[in-house]
Structure 1
Amino acid sequence: RKLLEEIKREFGKIDIIVNNAGVYVTSVRDESDFDRIFAINTKGAFFLVTSALDLGLLQDHGRIINITSVKSRLGSPNNGVHGASKAAVEAFSRSWASELGSRNITSNCVAPGYVATAMLESGLSGESGKVIIDAMVANTPLGRLGEVADIANIVGFLASPASQWITGQTIQATGGMSKSL
């Protein structure tokens, strides 16, 4: 909240909020892992938006864009907590779309599939990591991991006036891996 108060003093308003915080734990074994995932993936997004609204920062015709995950809809082993934390953000996003529509504020999500990021690469190193990445690519109809630019382009569209008629939606950016959803 302190950061938002500083933004209000310095700039007076926010036009676009992009919630892109995320953490992934492959094996949740205790309550502290669970709480950490929800604190970063879910609570952070919720309180950033609600605090910005409480402070009057988010302007009419503003944009809320939440980065979630294909795992919010596509169950797989050891992904339940991560998927649930991102599904909660999607639920908040739909609620914000309904609550803020009269102010022409849109709220949408982008749910990436496998994207070549530092987080992915740090968790998948060595020969075993290569095997997992190869399996990810094999399960993606477009035959590659996504690039950061693939997701950034969608975020740019949702932040632009061209998306003014889109709200309460989740765009699956997965290279086709979510084709069965």
Structure 2
Amino acid sequence: MDKARVALVTGGAAGMGRATCLRLARAGHAIGVLDIDLAGARAVADMITSTGGQALAVGADIGDRAQIEAAVAQIRSALGAVTIVINNAAMENFCAIEALDDATWDRLMAVNLRGAYIVTQCALPDMLAAGWGRVINLAAFGAQIGAPNMALYTASKGGIIAMTRSLAIELGPKGITVNAVSPGFIDTPMARRAIDGGLFPVPYEQIVATYPIPRLGDPDDIAAACAFFASADAAYITGQVLGVNGGAAM
């Protein structure tokens, strides 16, 4: 069994973040459940503690450095040094490029890309002190193959992939691995909002029907990939982008 660590999961209140919190808790790790939705984060933390695990819910806007610094300090004080970071929190955006405005661009980039950098930077002293760390960044298969009306979102996730590779080179000699999980079409509240809002060019059933595995993915599929990268089994793996997408991005 892997040594118990403290894991910080951003966007941990729902969807892939929630599934990852629960999966890492089952592996014995203490979980910092960070989300702008504090009530949702508390519900996830309560699920973990009710079964004997350790968890702390913290509310923070991932785009605000001061809030993130305070949240990481709170988790460190309550649970211990943070040596596993899952950068999952993100905003979606569906908009034709000619209709995008600068404020929307800046806000989404602040959450999806800058937020991941800030969280990683805030936890880094703990990893450096331990000589061990895991950073797992959530990308998106649209960043690998492109997607209509999603230039902003996919640009942010393409930045996540590039940052993952560069940090892997920089931090590998210090005992820290950095990898990315690239989800496909996963059945999450975010995806359901897009489906219900008719934001895809064709019904989602037509989209997934073209995949080698013709269905929506499950948040647990993403949690399993994150848990693998966080484990001792992945000790010699870094700088990788693991597609969990039913073969959609082959």
TM-score of the two chains, using structure 1 as the length reference: 0.90
- The answer for the alignment partner of 2:142 in structure 1 is 71
- The answer for the alignment partner of 1:18 in structure 2 is 86
Is the contact made by 2:139 and 2:181 (CA closer than 8 Å) also made in structure 1?
yes
Is the contact made by 1:12 and 1:57 (CA closer than 8 Å) also made in structure 2?
no
Aligned CA-pair RMSD = 1.9
- The answer for the alignment partner of 1:164 in structure 2 is 235
Which portions of structure 1, spanning 4 or more consecutive aligned residues, are displaced by more than 4 angstroms? Answer: 126-129
Question: Which secondary structure does the structure 2 equivalent of 1:57 belong to?
Answer: helix
Partners of 2:243 and 2:179 in 1: CA distance: 11
Question: Which secondary structure does the structure 2 equivalent of 1:63 belong to?
Answer: strand
- The answer for the alignment partner of 2:30 in structure 1 is none
Equivalent AA in structure 2 for residue 151 of structure 1: I
Report whether the alignment pairs 1:177 with 2:245: no
Deviates most, 34-43 or 131-140:
131-140
- The answer for the alignment partner of 1:2 in structure 2 is 70
State how 1:30-109 maps to structure 2 within 5 Å.
30-53=101-124, 56-58=125-127, 59-109=130-180
Give aligned pairs, total.
177
Deviations 1:101-142 (A, max 9, x none): 11221000000110010111122127887x521122122110
> Percent identity over the alignment?
34
Deviations 1:52-85 (A, max 9, x none): 22xx222322100001100111112112111110
Question: Which secondary structure does the structure 2 equivalent of 1:124 belong to?
Answer: helix
Equivalent AA in structure 2 for residue 163 of structure 1: A
Q: Which runs of 5+ in 2 are unaligned?
A: 1-68
Is the contact made by 1:114 and 1:136 (CA closer than 8 Å) also made in structure 2?
no
2:188 to 117, 139, 142: 117
Report whether the alignment pairs 1:139 with 2:207: no
Is the contact made by 1:136 and 1:145 (CA closer than 8 Å) also made in structure 2?
no
Equivalent AA in structure 2 for residue 57 of structure 1: D
Partners of 2:78 and 2:189 in 1: CA distance: 32
Partners of 1:140 and 1:37 in 2: CA distance: 28
